[in-house]
């Protein structure tokens, strides 16, 4: 074989025929993943023994190599009429690639620690691939790619984000050359290794795109601790090679925004599962977000707000569901989010750009300093609100009593201790007349204080919301669904203008049995999400899962709105047939008699020994 490039289509055809990843192909050929990656990228060629293995595998896969095992002029086709797989891409290969990249740095147990490195790296790859797509578009217009690059270098406004040469993925991965300039003292600026190169690359991106400051440049890839690199350059180079796999190109023409976004959220989910509290603060399980969005059923052009937006996942799911409900709509939702934590804020901005969505994101403490205000200083109001604020968060009394926006006293009074209902009071204050909201809270929020007879402030606020007919319903979630707790959680749905069929009523859904067992966390299946949203929005009682109560019933229960109180779910054993129960009892009786006999046999020698002098 004389042309290295001819190996690449053969390998790609083999993988398509056998449905193999690059890693799986490498295992079949007895080489490393990086070696296969370089072969497919045209950066290296196989030796004679390796070519023989490739030829044999091609024969097994039914790939036609022409007249020779691998020839420069071979046209790669499929035999026996089989066709390479097509159709819409799935997220599974990319999800596995992302997790493999995380694990390759330090191993699976420590992988969640390195999200701060991987997420900006994934984001940089996305920016670079989109940049290449836009250069291709300019090349079609001007007839030459080199001319297109020159035009883009001189007019950055032609691109969404301009990437300088040292930040482009081909240069980072070593597939294209870049002549590093000397500094003002005549010293080379060439980085010593991939860690220094990546740090220079992301800082250069920010110089040309100031809006990405604090988003992509949040870590130093060459950082050292006690004289050692936080990430070994060799392992970091392996991650770059993984991201360079042609199957994982992230340009506009390669993947839909949601396809890439879901793979990105998969990585967030994996980090959250391994990190507990810290990760759970900025990531709500994907299926919970979709349930909230399907309940609210967003319409084109509506304003949507999340005042504790974390990764902005809940807002993004509103837009995804809006697209699904009205695929022909030309007007997107108007998305607004506020987040306190710097890390979560950076993740939210990356997430929005990766999903190719416009989200107005602002940093700050919503309870103390809500950022979305009108020119007169009052709070902005929105059509839809979604949120998963910190559960049972304590607040000082002064926040409620001296609130400049009057969110609390007029909406049921000031609370004390836990702040769950304070968040609902804030929700109400920023909700338009006719607006709806879905907020995730601790299960105790809908029960605490009931039975105390006017002595508990939380109960009194809950009473006020019920009396004003603002609570459309409550959904009890399954246990062990959320990342920072094993507790079930509830979704409280508020509605400022209930339809006639729901006026004076509260819909309570007990979804505690609707889960798929998982490790370390349970999951909601997609069909359960759709079914639960349908059950809730129908507003009709259903045996074993849905109860619809009126305001008088809520008052008689002293405003205990827990779905588990109103919807009793019996175990399957309670409904077993009598013959089945008798058979089980017979088995247990037999087993008990057997164990008793064995125990007596074991004790008898001891009794004899004890009788001797």
Of residues 220 and 80, more confidently modeled = 220
DSSP 229-267: ESS-HHHHHHHHHHHT-GGG--STTTS-HHHHHHHHHHH
What's the pLDDT tens digit per position in 231-249? 889 889 988 988 888 877 8
Lowest mean pLDDT among 38-47, 131-140, 281-290, 384-393: 38-47
What's the pLDDT tens digit per position in 291-319? 999 999 999 999 999 999 988 999 999 99
What's the pLDDT tens digit per position in 135-170? 999 999 888 899 999 999 999 999 999 999 999 999
What is the structure's pLDDT at 106? 66
| Cα gap 541→539, rounded to integer Å | 7
Instruction: Classify residue 66 by its DSSP letter.
Output: T
- Cα 571–574–578 angle (5° rounding)? 150
Lowest mean pLDDT among 77-81, 159-163, 239-243, 602-606: 77-81
- Cα 428–430–432 angle (5° rounding)? 85
| Cα gap 309→338, rounded to integer Å | 6
| Cα gap 439→389, rounded to integer Å | 8
Question: Mean pLDDT over residues 370-374, rounded?
Answer: 97
Contact between 522 and 503 (Cβ < 8 Å): no
DSSP 558-603: TT---HHHHS----GGGG--HHHHHHHHHHHHHHHHHHHHHHHHHH
Tokens of 356: 């190719």
Of residues 345 and 8, more confidently modeled = 345
What is the structure's pLDDT at 445? 94
Structure-derived torsion over alpha carbons of residues 343, 344, 350, 356, reported in degrees to the nearest 10: -170
What's the pLDDT tens digit per position in 400-415? 888 999 999 999 999 8
Q: Backbone phi, then psi, for 396, in 5-degree steps? A: -75, 145
| Cα gap 58→46, rounded to integer Å | 14
pLDDT band, very low/low/confident/very high, at 83 (cuts 50, 70, 90): very low
| Cα gap 509→546, rounded to integer Å | 5
What's the pLDDT tens digit per position in 540-572? 887 789 999 999 999 999 999 999 999 976 554
Contact between 460 and 502 (Cβ < 8 Å): no
Of residues 112 and 374, more confidently modeled = 374
| Cα gap 54→19, rounded to integer Å | 15
Task: Using CB atoms within 10 Å of the CB of residue 251, give its burial: 0 to 12 exposed, 13 to 18 middle, 19+ buried.
Answer: middle
Question: Residues 361-366: contacts with CB within 8 Å, 24+ apart?
Answer: 361/309, 361/312, 361/336, 361/337, 362/337, 362/338, 363/338, 363/339, 364/338, 364/340, 365/340, 366/307, 366/308, 366/338, 366/340, 366/426
Q: From the CB of residue 370, how many other CB atoms can be counted at a distance below 10 Å?
A: 21
What is the structure's pLDDT at 282? 53
Rg of the chain over CA atoms, in angstroms?
A: 30
Contact between 69 and 14 (Cβ < 8 Å): no
């Amino acid at each position: 074989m004389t042309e290295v490039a001819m190996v690449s289509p053969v390998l790609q055809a083999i993988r398509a025929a056998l449905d193999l990843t690059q890693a799986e192909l490498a295992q079949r050929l007895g080489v490393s993943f990086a070696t296969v990656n370089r072969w497919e990228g045209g950066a290296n060629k196989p030796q004679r023994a390796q070519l023989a293995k490739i030829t044999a595998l091609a024969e097994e896969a039914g790939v036609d190599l022409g007249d020779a095992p691998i020839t420069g002029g071979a046209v790669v086709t499929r035999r026996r009429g089989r066709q390479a797989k097509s159709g819409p891409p799935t997220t599974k290969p990319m999800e596995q690639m992302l997790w493999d990249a995380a694990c390759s740095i330090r191993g699976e147990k420590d992988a969640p620690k390195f999200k701060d490195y991987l997420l900006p790296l994934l984001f940089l790859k996305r920016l670079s691939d989109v940049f290449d797509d836009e250069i291709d578009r300019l090349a079609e217009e001007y007839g030459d790619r080199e001319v297109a690059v020159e035009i883009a270098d001189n007019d950055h406004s032609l691109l969404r984000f301009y990437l300088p040469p040292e930040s482009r993925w081909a240069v980072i991965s070593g597939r294209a050359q870049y002549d590093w300039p000397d500094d003002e003292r005549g010293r080379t600026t060439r980085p010593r290794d991939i860690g220094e190169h990546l740090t220079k690359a992301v800082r250069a991106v920010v110089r040309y795109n100031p809006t990405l400051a604090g988003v992509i440049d949040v870590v130093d890839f060459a950082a050292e601790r006690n004289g050692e690199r936080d990430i070994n350059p060799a392992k970091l180079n392996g991650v770059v090679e993984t991201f360079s796999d042609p199957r994982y190109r992230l340009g506009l023409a390669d993947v839909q925004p949601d396809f890439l976004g879901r793979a990105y959220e998969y990585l967030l989910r994996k980090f959250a599962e391994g990190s507990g509290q810290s990760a759970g603060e900025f990531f709500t399980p994907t299926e919970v977000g979709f349930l909230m969005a399907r309940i609210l059923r967003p319409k084109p052009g509506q304003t949507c707000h999340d005042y504790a937006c974390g990764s902005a996942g809940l807002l993004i799911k509103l837009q995804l569901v809006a697209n699904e409900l009205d695929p022909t709509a030309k007007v997107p939702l108007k998305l607004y989010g506020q987040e306190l934590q710097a890390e979560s804020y950076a993740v939210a901005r990356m997430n929005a750009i990766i999903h190719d969505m416009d989200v107005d994101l602002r940093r700050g403490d919503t309870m103390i300093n809500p950022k979305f205000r009108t020119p007169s200083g009052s709070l902005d109001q929105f059509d839809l609100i979604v949120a998963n604020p910190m559960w049972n968060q304590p607040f000082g009394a002064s926040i409620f009593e001296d609130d400049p926006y009057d969110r609390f006293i007029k909406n049921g009074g000031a609370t004390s201790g836990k702040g769950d209902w304070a968040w609902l009071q804030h929700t109400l204050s920023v909700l338009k007349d006719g607006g709806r909201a879905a907020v995730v809270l601790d299960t105790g929020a809908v029960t605490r204080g009931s039975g105390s007879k006017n002595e508990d402030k939380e109960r009194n606020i809950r009473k006020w919301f019920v009396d004003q007919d603002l609570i459309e319903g409550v959904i009890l979630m399954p246990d062990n669904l959320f990342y920072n707790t094993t507790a079930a959680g509830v979704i409280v749905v508020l509605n400022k203008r209930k339809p006639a069929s729901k006026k004076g009523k509260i819909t309570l859904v007990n979804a505690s049995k609707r889960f798929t067992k998982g490790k370390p966390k349970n999951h909601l299946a997609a069909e359960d999400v759709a079914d639960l949203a349908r059950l809730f929005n129908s507003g009709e009682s259903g045996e074993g899962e849905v109860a619809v109560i009126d305001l008088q019933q809520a008052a008689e229960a002293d405003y205990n709105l827990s779905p588990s109180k109103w919807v009793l779910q019996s175990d399957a054993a309670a409904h077993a047939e009598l013959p089945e129960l008798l058979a089980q009892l017979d088995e247990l009786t037999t087993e008990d008699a057997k164990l008793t006999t064995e125990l007596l046999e074991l004790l008898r020698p001891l009794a004899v020994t004890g009788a001797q002098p």
